[in-house]
Amino acid sequence: MRLPLVLLMFFFAIFGSHAQIFDPNNLGQGMEDPIEWHAAVEQENDSIYNLVFTASLEPGWHLYSQEEVDIEIAPIATKFTFVEAPGKYELIGTTIEPDVPAMFDAVFEAEITYFEEEAVFKQKIKVLDPTDLLITAEVYFSVCDDEKCLPPETERFTFNIGENKVEEGFTNLEVSDKDQNLTEALNIEVKAVGGVDVKEEKGDGFMTIFFLGFIGGLIALLTPCVFPMIPLTVSFFTKGARTRKRGLVNAIMYGVFIFLIYLLLSLPFHLLDSLDPEILNNISTNTTLNIIFFVIFIFFAFSFFGYYEITLPTSWSNKMDDKASSFGGLIGVFFMALTLAIVSFSCTGPILGSLLGSSLTTDGGATQLSFGMGGFGLALALPFGLFALFPNWLNSLPKSGGWLNSIKVILGFIELALAFKFLSNADLVQHWGLLKREIFIGIWILVGIGLLLYLIGVIRFPHDGPKTKLGKGKLFLGVITLAFIVYLIPGLTNTPHANLKLLSGFPPPLFYSIYEKETEGPLGLKAYKDFEEGVAAAKAENKPILLDFTGWACVNCRKMEEQVWSEPKVFDVMKDEFVLISLYVDDRKELPEDQKFNYQKPTGGIKQIETIGDKWATFQTLNFRNNSQPFYVLLDHEMNMLNRPVGYTPDSEEFKEWLEEGLEEFNKE
């Protein structure tokens, strides 16, 4: 049992801590330079070389790992970038860093991997053509002590392989006067006043996705591919073993292995995170990927309807079954668990696809997916362990039958409804206007009507058995479905009742409507989408600024608007006392050519600013060193922060107090 226990300890060690700290400003501090970088070339043979990067740190300072930390406010991960030279050289693997355990970080109050005193990184390369070979590499990093972090910096190195020399620094940056002027225009030189301090926030997103994954696993248990396997498998272990104790151990380990198999399925996404931390975070705003998810969910839905089966190759399950028979002990039990995962894919695949889509289209990324997969695997595993411990419970299980197929069809309708969420994300980001809020809700109403008609027996699908009398279960679900349809109907109107709070974050925002609105802001609020225009309005009205960094596809942003901002005590303060500036960091609309520019980071590195979203995302990171949404800042007309910025704040009373705190500071001036 040592392997499963070690893996379980590994899982909780990595994902167990998620406290976070936000230091909104680092003003009034002297210039500090506690780290020095050096680089060298090591030759292994005629074609294999190592590019070696050495970081030397002053006592008390530390440099962070290349692995992204999955907390809302996280340290800057060290990142190495190598300029491609096709036909000249190729990278072998990823950049290797020192192997040290995660330690408690006093600034972020979390277990984080970081390096002290000295850290050596190595990137192995294969030289294809050594003639005049120059390799340019950049390292992007940030360092912290026990109280603060310094702004991120970039170091560049140019390796001359033929002469075995390294040139440090930037030599060929292409940043014009125009680029510099546009960059300077983004820097508003924010200053901290009003007692801006450190705030600790604790997020519950990971436990939420774990719970949702657990619910998904329980649903999967009730499908035709899994449910009949419970009594068969438990009976096999409890009756087929030489001793009752051995049977119990095998059954329990069978459940443990099911849990671990589903948990391990998320590991490749952590690899994607380490190769490019932006991959998972950008999925929610990527039009192509959202459309792909839409198509996949439609495909899943019709599979559940019974028009075709989504299965893995039969040879896979046969091979795993053979190995389970060949090996004895725990190895054989493991292959039995793997066989179950493969043969049940036609039922679990669409549910796992939903979990994958919902995890990767939020900012939780791979860690959130691991929690979801862990919850899913735990729910599937529990029955095998519990029924092995209490075999008499098997007598209370309902018999398999047509009700299992009904559950699949119901899941198909749910998949169909969820599919349009992804199409809506793409529509919002691209401003196509195809799925305005009322159209989206109308589609959900039609899906709900389809489900209701199925439950009462009007609609039939290929795998349905003979029509029978309407049972209590279907009647109950029919009533719930009808109530949900009735709840959705006001969402089609242009009235205050159109704000469907229970669904906040799923439909498009209220202002994305087929009805003509007085403003394009949330809830009818006047919201400026250009910073300078909003500041001018704030000065004219002599009101403080509520700066709202948001996103078209940001679920938590919609929840804030429709659950918190909609509260009268919050709405009135925002409407009467503040000028709202909403900047969408995922807006893919291109900037005019004369407004596009190359942004040179303070310590090097260039970022191309081509879209409105690029501009406001850079504006946020440049001035507030934060890249999460929603993110709210209160400013006066001189760009003084009136109190600490905040992120997702689902407590309306807390958010109201935050607004009033900033308003009081503004009125002191």
Could you read off the pLDDT of 382-429 as tens digits, one per residue?
877 777 666 666 666 666 556 667 877 887 888 788 888 878 877 876
User: Residue range 143-164: average pLDDT?
Assistant: 74
- More reliable by pLDDT, 667 or 272: 667
Phi-psi region of 605 (alpha: psi -120 to 50; beta: other; left: phi over 0): left
Tokens of 443: 């589609």
* Residue 274: per-residue pLDDT: 47
Q: In this predicted structure, which of 41-55, 241-255, 277-291, 476-490 has the lowest mean pLDDT?
A: 277-291
On the question of pLDDT at 439 being above 90, the answer is: yes
How far is Cα 250 from Cα 248, in angstroms, rounded to an integer? Answer: 5
- Burial environment of residue 246 by CB neighbours within 10 A (0 to 12, 13 to 18, 19 or more): middle
Q: In this predicted structure, which of 256-260, 404-408, 485-489 has the lowest mean pLDDT?
A: 404-408
Tokens of 157: 């190195």
On the question of pLDDT at 4 being above 50, the answer is: no
Greatest distance between any 2 Cα atoms in the chain: 85
* Residue 450: per-residue pLDDT: 92
Residue 123 CA, distance from chain mean position: 29
Which of 610, 615, 612 lies closest to 596, judged by CA? 610
* Residue 362: per-residue pLDDT: 47
Q: In this predicted structure, which of 4-8, 100-104, 560-564 has the lowest mean pLDDT?
A: 4-8
Tokens of 617: 């995302």
> Hey, what's the torsion of the CAs at 254, 260, 262, 265, to 10 degrees?
-140
Q: CATH topology for 522-668? A: Glutaredoxin (3.40.30)
* Residue 281: per-residue pLDDT: 45
**Pairing mode, if any, of strands 110-112 and 35-43?**
unpaired
Tokens of 365: 């990324």
On the question of pLDDT at 16 being above 70, the answer is: no
Handedness of CA 89, 93, 94, 97 (dihedral sign): negative
* Residue 603: per-residue pLDDT: 46
Using pLDDT thresholds of 50, 70 and 90, give the confidence band for residue 596: confident
- More reliable by pLDDT, 142 or 161: 161
On the question of pLDDT at 112 being above 60, the answer is: yes
* Residue 553: per-residue pLDDT: 57
- More reliable by pLDDT, 278 or 376: 376
The arrangement of secondary structure in 19-172, i.e. its CATH architecture, is Sandwich (2.60)
How far is Cα 311 from Cα 373, in angstroms, rounded to an integer? Answer: 19
On the question of pLDDT at 280 being above 50, the answer is: no
- The DSSP line for 4-18 is HHHHHHHHHHHHS--
* Residue 399: per-residue pLDDT: 60
- The DSSP line for 165-183 is EEEES-------HHHHHHH
* Residue 83: per-residue pLDDT: 87
User: Residue range 375-380: average pLDDT?
Assistant: 82
pTM value?
Answer: 0.46
Tokens of 298: 């439609």
- The DSSP line for 509-562 is PTTS-SS--S-SSGGG--EESSHHHHHHHHHHHT--EEEEEE-TT-HHHHHIII
Counting residues of the chain whose pLDDT is more than 70, the rounded percentage is 68
On the question of pLDDT at 241 being above 60, the answer is: no
Q: In this predicted structure, which of 55-64, 142-151, 496-505 has the lowest mean pLDDT?
A: 142-151
Which of 519, 512, 668, 626 lies closest to 580, judged by CA? 519
Per-domain residue ranges for the chain? 19-172, 205-401, 522-668
Residue 141 CA, distance from chain mean position: 22
Query: Phi, psi at residue 192, to the nearest 5°?
Result: -95, 125
CA angle 43, 44, 45 (to 5 degrees): 100
For residue 570, the SS3 value is: helix
User: Residue range 346-360: average pLDDT?
Assistant: 59
Distance from first CA to last CA of the chain, Å, rounded?
66
How far is Cα 266 from Cα 259, in angstroms, rounded to an integer? Answer: 12
The partner residues of 40 in beta bridges, in order of sequence, read 52
